[in-house]
């Protein structure tokens, strides 16, 4: 491709990229979220222990953390498309392994399958960065938020398919709680095929071709390059901290909510409904979060997200067992707070990272996010088993303090915008020149 493409051609490529990512996200999200409402219940049934109920989701989050790093390395060498397709195919194999685990009543196989399923989570998360590779500065957060929003279609549909999936499992003579994973595998395969065919030209490779100076050949290990960039850019470090903290809060509370509801006699379809409302909050309003981040500034949206998370924890912590308005609204706000923080923080990560280290930093950020969430998810089961669901929300409130601190740091280190001339799309970014973006 000619490195001097006209700006209109670049805009057309960007629009096409976002449209393709939207469809891919919708399909992939069904594969991930259809099992959210049943994973903890399946783990509980196989292990015979409520203390181990959160291990399946924790394993998935942990798998997503390591997959984020490995897929980022693959994308650095071969582009976004191959990384996306690879993650979806690995995730589909993990979903099918979860079905086998249910049939054989094997906790070990379930945890391995859940870890592999995390690769699809990593691929879906990485798609938000793909939307920013060719995006102009003024609409970068909106482009990222639009791709995050696309998950709404599949994510809201997924948990509500638990009923039909249970009927399918009875027809196939497999355990009822494994049906969602079987449907999820099919959805992930469809997403992989779609992105493999239509995500062309590759946005990251195109951005490299359009750079006025070709990115230097990276030296050292991926994590070393990422650490060098993060260490030199305080606002970037703050964004990664906020991203990881908010994700840990969301995962810890979300994975234990189905058990809290079941203890009060809530039926599986009601559990699926509440989880779908939660996922709606996570994704449906992300374009608005992006617009707010573009206009009001990234740090301001980070802090707003922290306030929403704290309100969500208050409602969830006070909600009785079973189904209630408090748990439904609380889970919705938990997702909305996560969305505000994730869109703002991810945009900061995308714009503060130079092109030659872009996937290294993004992969490291998502890995940190996943590892912190995996630790929080593992502790969630212990906390609920020992002290109950309300105590879990108190624990999560302390994690939310990390989001508040990161937002304040980002706000403090941001300098007033100096209105520099716009860099060409795809050009390597100078972190010191972009720290002012996001000033509220």
DSSP 217: P
- Spatial separation of the C-alpha atoms in residues 72 and 381, rounded to whole Å: 30
CA 114 to chain centre: 16
The pLDDT assigned to 427 comes to 44
Q: How many Cβ atoms from other residues are within 10 Å of residue 303's Cβ?
A: 21
Q: Contact 354/430 with Cβ under 8 angstroms?
A: yes
List the Cα angle 100/106/110 in 5-degree steps. 65
Q: At residue 383, does pLDDT exceed 50? A: yes
List the Cα angle 51/52/58 in 5-degree steps. 120
DSSP 355: G
List the Cα angle 327/331/333 in 5-degree steps. 120
Confidence class of residue 218 from pLDDT cuts 50, 70 and 90? low
Confidence class of residue 216 from pLDDT cuts 50, 70 and 90? low
Confidence class of residue 258 from pLDDT cuts 50, 70 and 90? confident
- Exposure string for 56-89, b = 16+ CB within 10 A, e = fewer: bbbbbbbbbbbbbbbbbbbbbeebbbbbbbbbbb
The pLDDT assigned to 192 comes to 96
Q: Is 419 left (phi over 0), alpha (psi -120 to 50) or beta?
A: left
CATH for the 7-208+221-416+424-434 domain, from 3.30.70.20, 3.40.47.10, 1.20.1250.20, 2.40.50.140 = 1.20.1250.20
Q: Residue 400 burial (CB < 10 Å; 0-12/13-18/19+)?
A: buried
- For 145, the token pair is 């938020």
- Spatial separation of the C-alpha atoms in residues 370 and 378, rounded to whole Å: 12
Strand blocks (E) in 44-203: none
Per-residue pLDDT of 183-202, as tens digits, reads 888 889 999 999 999 999 99
Asked which of 39-53, 266-280, 343-357, 398-412 is least confident by mean pLDDT, the reply is: 39-53
Confidence class of residue 409 from pLDDT cuts 50, 70 and 90? confident
Task: Give how far Cα 206 sits from Cα of 1, 9, 350, 356, 387, Å.
Answer: 8, 11, 16, 13, 52
Q: Average pLDDT of the chain? A: 84
Q: At residue 18, does pLDDT exceed 90? A: yes
Per-residue pLDDT averaged across 87-102, rounded? 92
- For 382, the token pair is 């212990």
Q: Where are the alpha helices (DSSP H) in 34-79?
A: 36-47, 55-78
Q: At residue 390, does pLDDT exceed 70? A: yes
Confidence class of residue 311 from pLDDT cuts 50, 70 and 90? very high
- For 226, the token pair is 């990422």
Task: Give how far Cα 39 sits from Cα of 87, 161, 179, 181, 268, Å.
Answer: 20, 14, 11, 9, 12
- For 83, the token pair is 């990384």
The pLDDT assigned to 289 comes to 95
- Spatial separation of the C-alpha atoms in residues 62 and 316, rounded to whole Å: 25
The pLDDT assigned to 214 comes to 58
- Exposure string for 406-417, b = 16+ CB within 10 A, e = fewer: bbebbbebbeee
Confidence class of residue 323 from pLDDT cuts 50, 70 and 90? confident
- Spatial separation of the C-alpha atoms in residues 26 and 20, rounded to whole Å: 10
Compute and round to an integer the Cα radius of gyration of the chain: 21
Confidence class of residue 215 from pLDDT cuts 50, 70 and 90? low
What percent of the chain shows pLDDT beyond 90? 40
* Residues contacting residue 334 through CB under 8 Å, at least 6 positions apart: 249, 250, 253, 254, 278, 281, 309, 312, 313, 316
* Residues contacting residue 398 through CB under 8 Å, at least 6 positions apart: none
Q: Is the peptide bond prior to 201 cis by the omega test (within 30 degrees of 0)?
A: yes
Task: Pick the more confident residue, 381 or 2.
Answer: 381
Per-residue pLDDT of 335-361, as tens digits, reads 999 999 999 999 999 989 888 888 999
Q: How many CA atoms lie within 13 A of 116 on its CB side?
A: 20
- Spatial separation of the C-alpha atoms in residues 243 and 3, rounded to whole Å: 34
Per-residue pLDDT averaged across 145-165, rounded? 78
Q: At residue 146, does pLDDT exceed 60? A: yes
Q: Structure pTM?
A: 0.80
């Amino acid at each position: 491709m000619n490195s001097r493409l006209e700006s209109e051609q670049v805009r057309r490529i960007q629009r096409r990229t976002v449209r393709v990512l939207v469809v891919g996200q919708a399909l992939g999200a069904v594969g991930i979220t259809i099992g959210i409402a049943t994973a903890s219940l399946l783990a509980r049934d196989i292990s015979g222990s409520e203390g181990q109920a959160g291990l399946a989701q924790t394993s998935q989050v942990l798998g997503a953390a390591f997959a984020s790093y490995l897929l980022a390395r693959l994308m650095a060498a071969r582009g976004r498309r191959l990384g996306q397709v690879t993650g979806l195919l690995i995730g589909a194999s993990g979903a099918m392994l979860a079905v086998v685990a249910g049939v054989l009543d094997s906790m070990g196989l379930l945890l391995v399958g859940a870890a592999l399923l995390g690769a699809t989570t990593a691929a879906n998360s990485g798609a938000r960065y793909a939307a920013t590779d060719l995006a102009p500065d003024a609409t970068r957060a909106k482009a990222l938020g639009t791709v995050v929003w696309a998950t709404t279609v599949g994510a809201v549909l997924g948990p509500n398919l638990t009923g039909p999936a249970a009927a399918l499992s009875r027809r196939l003579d497999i355990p009822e709680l494994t049906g969602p994973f079987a449907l999820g595998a099919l959805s992930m395969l469809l997403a992989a095929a779609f992105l493999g065919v239509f995500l062309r030209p590759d946005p990251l490779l195109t951005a490299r071709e359009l750079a006025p100076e070709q990115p230097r050949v990276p030296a050292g290990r991926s994590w070393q390059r990422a650490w060098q960039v993060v260490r030199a850019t305080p606002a970037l470090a703050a964004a990664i901290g906020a991203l990881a903290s908010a994700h840990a809060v969301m995962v810890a509370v979300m994975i234990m909510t189905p058990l809290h509801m079941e203890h009060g006699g809530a039926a599986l379809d009601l559990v699926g409904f509440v989880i779908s409302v939660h996922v709606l909050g996570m994704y449906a309003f992300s374009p608005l979060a992006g617009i707010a981040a573009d206009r009001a500034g990234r740090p301001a949206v980070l802090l707003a997200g922290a306030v929403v998370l704290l309100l969500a924890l208050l409602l969830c912590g006070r909600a009785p067992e079973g189904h209630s308005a408090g748990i439904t609204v609380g889970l919705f706000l938990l997702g909305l707070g996560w969305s505000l923080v994730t869109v703002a923080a991810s945009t900061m990560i995308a714009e503060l990272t130079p092109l030659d280290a872009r996937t290294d930093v993004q992969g490291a950020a998502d890995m940190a996010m996943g590892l912190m969430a995996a630790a929080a998810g593992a502790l969630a089961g212990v906390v609920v088993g020992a002290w109950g669901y309300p105590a879990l929300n108190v624990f999560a409130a302390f994690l939310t303090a990390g989001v508040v601190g990161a937002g304040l740091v980002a706000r403090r280190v941001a300098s007033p915008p100096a209105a520099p001339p716009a860099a060409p799309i795809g050009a390597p970014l100078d972190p010191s020149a972009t720290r002012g973006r996001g000033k509220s």
